[in-house]
């Protein structure tokens, strides 16, 4: 597990090579300038998530922007494993946001909530076999879904039929209102 983590950090640091044109060439043999920039940016983001105004927006951007980009790339690739990986992420992300919506009034009072949320979302998108979306989906969401699938299907079908009926009624009301004018 530790070897996988060091590999992930190494990949993230190697991504700074793409910024060499903007940041200048690395001066150290050991990549110390790249490490300094990477960990400095990480520290600034961390402090901002703790004390900054708009930490919720930054956290949601972190949890949305990169996964949306790689999801589009996954859709366009011929490999279906990456599709499954990112669909799993979006299921976990969606349920997490739904739970957060109802508990936000309480979570807002915890001082390190946004940094914890960011760490959770980063764990969910981590390129390791034990990433959060895989763990949460296979240990909590999937068993619950399989156990209650029939009831959930019934609820979804009922809601779908009610929505169709309401749409038809709304269309009738609009048409009858137009005829009366």
For 161, residues 6+ apart whose C-beta sits below 8 A from its C-beta are none
pLDDT of residue 177: 80
pLDDT of residue 178: 77
DSSP annotation of 111 reads T
pLDDT of residue 44: 75
3 state DSSP class of 128: coil
Per-residue pLDDT of the chain (181 residues; tens, 9 = 90+): 445 545 545 555 455 455 444 445 545 555 667 777 777 777 777 776 666 677 778 888 889 999 999 999 999 998 888 889 999 999 999 999 999 899 888 877 787 888 888 889 999 998 888 899 999 999 999 999 999 999 999 999 999 999 999 999 988 888 888 777 7
Alpha-carbon distance of 86 to 72, in angstroms, equals 10
Tell me the DSSP string of 20-32.
HHHH----STT-H
Sequence ranges of the domains in the chain: 1-52, 53-180
DSSP annotation of 48 reads H
DSSP annotation of 108 reads T
pLDDT of residue 16: 45
If one counts every other C-beta atom within 10 angstroms of the C-beta of residue 19, the result is 12
pLDDT of residue 17: 52
**For 88-96, which contacts have Cβ atoms below 8 Å and span 24 or more sequence positions?**
88/133, 88/134, 88/137, 89/124, 89/125, 89/133, 91/133, 91/137, 91/141, 92/124, 92/132, 92/133, 92/136, 92/137, 92/141, 93/63, 93/64, 93/67, 93/121, 93/124, 93/133, 95/141, 96/120, 96/121
């Amino acid at each position: 597990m530790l070897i996988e983590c060091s590999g992930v950090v190494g990949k993230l640091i190697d991504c700074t090579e793409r910024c060499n044109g903007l940041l200048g060439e690395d001066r150290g043999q050991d990549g110390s300038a790249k490490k300094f920039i990477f960990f400095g940016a990480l520290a600034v983001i961390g402090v901002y998530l703790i004390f900054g105004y708009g930490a919720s927006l930054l956290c949601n951007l972190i949890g949305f922007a990169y996964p949306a980009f790689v999801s589009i790339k996954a859709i366009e690739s011929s490999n279906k494993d990456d599709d499954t990986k990112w669909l799993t992420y979006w299921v976990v992300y969606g349920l997490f946001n739904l739970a957060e919506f109802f508990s936000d009034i309480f979570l807002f009072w915890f001082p390190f909530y946004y940094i914890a949320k960011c760490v959770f979302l980063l764990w969910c998108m981590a390129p390791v076999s034990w990433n959060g979306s895989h763990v949460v989906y296979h240990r909590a969401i999937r068993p619950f879904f399989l156990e209650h699938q029939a009831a959930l299907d019934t609820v979804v079908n009922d809601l779908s039929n009610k929505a169709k009926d309401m749409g038809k009624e709304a269309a009738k009301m609009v048409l009858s209102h137009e005829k009366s004018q």
